[in-house]
Amino acid sequence: MSDKPRKLRSTEWFGSADKNGFMYRSWMKNQGIPDHAFDGRPIIGICNTWSELTPCNAHFRKLAEHVKKGVLEAGGYPVEFPVFSNGESNLRPTAMLTRNLASMDVEEAIRGNPIDAVVLLVGCDKTTPALLMGAASCDVPAIVVTGGPMLNGKLEGKNIGSGTAVWQLHESLKAGEINMHQFLAAEGGMSRSAGTCNTMGTASTMACMAEALGTSLPHNAAIPAVDARRYVLAHMSGRRIVEMAHEDLRLSKILTREAFENAIRTNAAIGGSTNAVIHLKAIAGRIGVELELDDWTRIGKGTPTVVDLQPSGRFLMEEFYYAGGLPAVLRRLGEAKLLPHPDALTVNGKSLWENVADAPQYNDEVIRPLDKPLVPDGGICVLRGNLAPRGAVLKPSAASPHLLQHRGRAVVFENLEHYKERIVDEDLDIDETCVMVLKNCGPMGYPGMAEVGNMGLPPKLLRRGIKDMVRISDARMSGTAYGTVVLHVAPEAAAGGPLAAVRDGDFIELDCTTGRLHLDISDEELATRLAQVTPPEHAMKGGYQRLYVNHVLQADQGCDFEFLVGCRGSAVPRHSH
Ligand code: FES
Ligand code: MG
């Protein structure tokens, strides 16, 4: 293969006839790899987040086999390797705690090994940002292959959505509308096939973000996990990554400022998760793109949400794929001149617009016309004020319109345990006009910024038929959750943010039209109270949690570690022996 246009990275390992080349090749040969695999052809890493403890990614070994077929067919050599797998449903205290850990694993695994380009096998929420962050810090050619969503959940003949059904059924249980037997009966039906959450939760959102950013082939986001076309997509991604290795089509050519602007606009159109705000910031930071919280206002505001999926709307990812998937949405946006940068380059070498200009659209209810949107302004609402000097966010498409401008009396929970103890108290002084405030659930406080911001309403109000109240915290919420929930308050309470100063009986004003979040006390009073706050003790004082608490950035900065921000490239000047 001496006619290759450029010398590939892996030849620094396998390309020499000396002692080092011997060592690198010889040990690999114990797997039965023939000589010609080392002739200078692209070595393609398949970065696999497979794990039986990450149920959403448990089918990934089969997915990897299809990627390998494509790689071999195109003249590359595939090498699959495992990385830390973040399973949203099992990991305590929250999978977010280890997103950065996984990203470090990915970065070092790619840079330290003889890999020319990499296929990122992602699915469950944190696996997508973690792998993109790690790969971006190395800036190698990379392509995302998502595992795909589960089939529609089923309960008593009706569709139910991952996560969203849990929140709904649990509230119904507390309101006395269903019994425990009915509640538990939903378990098997909700998760009945391989794949990620079938709602427009964080996993589906990040899959759409990967596609809108141009880091995957078209249709990557929506093909169901068990649909044979998912395996065809994996196969074709394997073929394409070999070409990308030859073309040196690195992530920095795809992940431009323009790509992130396209993604922000897309997030509004799909009614995507608030978690995307944090993850996109973290990915952008790794490739050297400046992205600010206010970009979400500037680019997202006024964008209609047209995808009618739970938790904001009615349908699930299966219907989304059958309706045309993300290409159909991007086409609608483009035709209305709402795609900020249609010329942005994608991994297949074509522009985003070239990929979607002819995309068919089969169902106007699932992907609605722009003049009949689910929500007229679906962009993430960024809030600021004396309660959130560095910002907070709210997802209007999942909120109650009548609460988007609201002034109410605060009922304060110092931490999650305090909330759990107090919320069931039938004598708690609370009504539906109150504002529920939860502290110490941010990046440092929890630690890991758990998805507890959509705290359940008091049972006594649920029994009266109350469905929503304003809730404010420094936590995140699941992308499958809904409600008028102010999240990501920065700085967080545990970092000395003003949230720590809120007391029962204070009044709080929320105004999503002006982006204001205000605690109705004087600056002097706020300062006096903050001086009296003692930060919470951390449950674990050593280990990874210490590294995390000492280095994590606040939500407005993407919760990356301060020392991980930036692109460090793929060069490793020294041999190992
Ligand atoms: Fe894994 Fe939702 S829990 S995708
Ligand atoms: Mg989640």
Measured from the Cα of 478, ligand 1's closest atom is 2
CA of 326 to the centre of ligand 1 (A): 19
- Our answer on whether the CB atom of 124 is closer than 6 Å to any ligand 1 atom is yes
- What value does the mean pLDDT take over residues 412-439? 98
Q: For ligand 1, is residue 200 a contact (CB within 6 Å)? A: no
Q: Which atom of ligand 1 is nearest to the CA of 88?
A: 3
At 3, the pLDDT band (50, 70, 90 cuts) reads low
Residue nearest to atom 1 of ligand 1 (CA): 124
Ligand 1 lined by 451 (C-beta under 6 Å):
no
Q: What fold does the segment set 381-537 form as a domain?
A: Glucose Oxidase; domain 1 (3.50.30)
Whether the per-residue pLDDT at 2 is higher than 50: the answer is: no
% of the chain exceeding 70 in pLDDT:
99
Q: What is the ipTM of this complex?
A: 0.94
What's the rounded Cα separation, in Å, for the pair 271 and 378? 6
| Predicted local confidence at residue 535, as pLDDT | 86
Q: Residue 201 C-alpha to ligand 1 middle, in angstroms?
A: 8
What single letter denotes the amino acid at residue 416? L
481: Cβ below 6 Å to ligand 1? no
State the burial class of residue 300 (Cβ atoms within 10 Å of its Cβ: 0-12, 13-18, 19+): buried
Give the integer Cα–Cα distance in Å for 183 and 539: 33
Q: How far is the CA of 128 from the centre of ligand 1 (A)?
A: 11
pLDDT at residue 190 above 50? Answer: yes
Per-residue pLDDT tens over the stretch 147-160: 999 999 999 999 99
* Residue reference for tokens 């067919």: 73
Residue ranges of the chain assigned to CATH 3.50.30.80: 381-537
Residue from 51, 57, 88 to probe ligand 1 pocket by mutation (most atoms less than 8 Å from CB): 88
CATH 3.40.50.2300 maps onto the chain at: 41-151+193-356
Report the residue among 51, 54, 98, 125 best suited for mutation to probe ligand 1: largest number of ligand atoms under 8 A from its CB. 125
Q: Does 197 sit in the ligand 1 pocket, CB within 6 Å?
A: yes
Ligand 1 contacts CB of residue 196 (under 6 A): yes
In the beta sheet, which residues pair with residue 142?
118
Q: Residue 445 has what pLDDT?
A: 97
Q: Which ligand minimizes its atom distance to the CA of 123? A: 1
Q: Give the residue from 298, 372, 365 showing the smallest Cα distance to 336.
A: 372
Please return the burial class of 391, using the count of CB atoms within 10 Å of its CB with bins 0-12, 13-18 and 19+. Answer: buried
> Any idea what DSSP says for residue 381?
E
Please give the number of the atom of ligand 1 that sits closest to the Cα of 87.
Answer: 1
Cis peptide before 491 (omega within 30 of 0): yes
Helix residue ranges, H only, 313-441: 317-322, 325-335, 352-356, 416-423
C-beta 161 within 6 A of ligand 1: no
Chain position carrying tokens 């039906």: 189
Whether residue 149 has its Cβ less than 6 Å from ligand 1: no
Q: What is the mean pLDDT of residues 470-491?
A: 96
Total count of residues recorded for the chain: 577
Atom in ligand 1 nearest the alpha carbon of residue 163 = 2
Looking at all shown ligands, the one closest to residue 477's CA atom is 2
* Mean pLDDT of the 463-482 span: 95
DSSP letters, 217-245, are -TTTTTS-TTSHHHHHHHHHHHHHHHHHH
Residue 139 has pLDDT above 90, yes or no: yes
Q: What is the pLDDT of residue 5?
A: 61
User: pTM for this structure?
Assistant: 0.97
Closest Cα partner for 43 from 22, 16, 19, 12? 12
Mean pLDDT calculated for residue range 94-102: 98
Residue 537: the pLDDT is: 87
CB of 203 closer than 6 angstroms to any ligand 1 atom: yes
- The answer, yes or no, to whether any atom of ligand 1 lies below 6 A from the CB of 103, is no
- As to burial, measured by CB atoms within 10 angstroms (0-12 exposed, 13-18 middle, 19+ buried), residue 21 is middle
Residue 4: pLDDT over 70: no
Residue-wise pLDDT for 254-301, tens only, equals 999 999 999 999 999 999 999 999 999 999 999 999 999 999 999 999
- What confidence tens digit (pLDDT) does each residue in 225-256 have? 999 999 999 999 999 999 999 999 999 999 99
Give the CATH fold of the 41-151+193-356 domain.
Rossmann fold (3.40.50)
